[in-house]
């Protein structure tokens, strides 16, 4: 999977989590707007859009939803196998 696909999928899952929490608590976008001080369009883009969001705004929305960010971001990711660190590669060459 390409890096862009991964990021898009992660954001979709993150937004799905935010949306599910807001629905289960019956907290509207307008309520989130009132609680965060963000504009309605900002709140909509965070909750339903497909662009990146700042950590600051994500935390503000989590506070408005009365949920810890780690609950929203509990999304497993595949960690790729990387090459050795540079210092370890240099040690092998010696």
Contact 43, 29 (CB under 8 A): yes
**Looking at the domain assignment, is residue 55 inside a domain?**
yes
HSE-CB of 54 using CA atoms within 13 angstroms: 6
Answer with the residue of higher pLDDT: 88 or 44: 44
Rounded-to-integer distance, Cα 43 and Cα 61, Å: 8
Confidence of residue 5 (pLDDT cuts 50, 70, 90): confident
**Looking at the domain assignment, is residue 11 inside a domain?**
yes
**Looking at the domain assignment, is residue 92 inside a domain?**
no
**41-84: pLDDT as tens digits:** 999 999 998 788 999 999 999 999 999 999 999 988 888 888 88
**Looking at the domain assignment, is residue 85 inside a domain?**
no
**Looking at the domain assignment, is residue 93 inside a domain?**
no
pTM: 0.79
**Looking at the domain assignment, is residue 94 inside a domain?**
no
**25-43: pLDDT as tens digits:** 999 999 999 999 999 999 9
Given a cut of 80, is residue 94 above it in pLDDT? no
Cα angle, residue 29 at apex, residues 11 and 47 outer, rounded to 5°: 5
Q: Total domain count for the chain? A: 1
Q: CATH number, domain at 69?
A: 1.10.260.40
Domain range for 35: 3-76
**Looking at the domain assignment, is residue 34 inside a domain?**
yes
Q: Which residues, at least 6 apart from 66, have a Cβ–Cβ distance to it below 8 Å? A: 25
Query: Would you state the pLDDT for residue 1?
Result: 45
**Looking at the domain assignment, is residue 37 inside a domain?**
yes
């Amino acid at each position: 999977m390409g890096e862009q696909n991964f990021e898009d999928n992660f954001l979709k899952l993150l937004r799905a989590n935010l949306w599910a929490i807001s629905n289960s608590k019956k907290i509207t976008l307008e309520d989130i707007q009132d609680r965060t001080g963000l504009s309605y369009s900002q709140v909509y883009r965070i909750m339903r859009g497909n662009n990146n969001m700042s950590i600051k705004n994500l935390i503000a929305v989590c506070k408005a939803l009365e949920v810890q960010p780690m609950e929203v971001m509990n999304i497993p990711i595949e960690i790729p196998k990387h090459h050795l660190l540079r210092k370890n590669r240099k040690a092998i060459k010696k």
